[in-house]
Amino acid sequence: MKIIIALPQVDPKSFKPPLVCPYPGCGGRDFWPIQEVPKRLRDVNYVNIMVRRYLCLSCFRTFRVYPEGISKSSLPQGIKRFAAMCYFLGLSCQSVSSLLKELGINMSKTAVYIASQEVAKNFPNIQRKKIIQTFLGPFPGNHIAAVKIDGNWYPLEFNPNKLVLTFEEEKAANFKESLISLAQMLGIEILVNS
């Protein structure tokens, strides 16, 4: 059985127009677009994206509007949720950081921990499970690593924007159920092939 886990994608053109001025006490609803400015992003597909600056016509202060899934942080929200999912499945912060590095995303183990705590605040019923015991790899010369699930080693293949995990369903049924429920909760796309 194969499970394909897609990395969450960023759409740099998906802006929602501002409705209310973000500054406390202003409440302005009329804005003037000033400019688009570049913002560095740690993502597989984009190094820089453009964010929009607006001027509030009530308080005359400027603010930025980011595309959906992007915030002041250089890491997209989807990547943070993906890192948190790996952490809550049992990988250590260091292992999640190494896994993301193989996918082309630099995220420190401290950033993994902070992202996991942010997700835990938004989803209070989420709990860390030690389903994945170890991450090993990738092996020199190829894009294949290995993960240890319920005492058995399984190959983990790195493809552009996705991970492919091949395993025996009978031996890792608990992992499959946990992965599917956690991915659905966090909005991460997975595909299961028998």
Q: What is the pLDDT of residues 8-48, one digit of tens each?
A: 888 888 888 899 999 999 989 999 999 999 998 888 778 88
What's the pTM?
A: 0.80
- For the record, the structure tokens of 133 come out as 């015991």
Q: How far is CA 157 from the centre of its chain?
A: 18
Q: What is the pLDDT of residues 100-138, one digit of tens each?
A: 888 888 899 999 999 999 888 888 888 888 777 777 766
What is the residue extent of each domain of the chain? 2-7+75-193, 31-65
Query: For residue range 45-59, what is the model confidence (pLDDT) as tens digits?
Result: 788 889 999 999 999
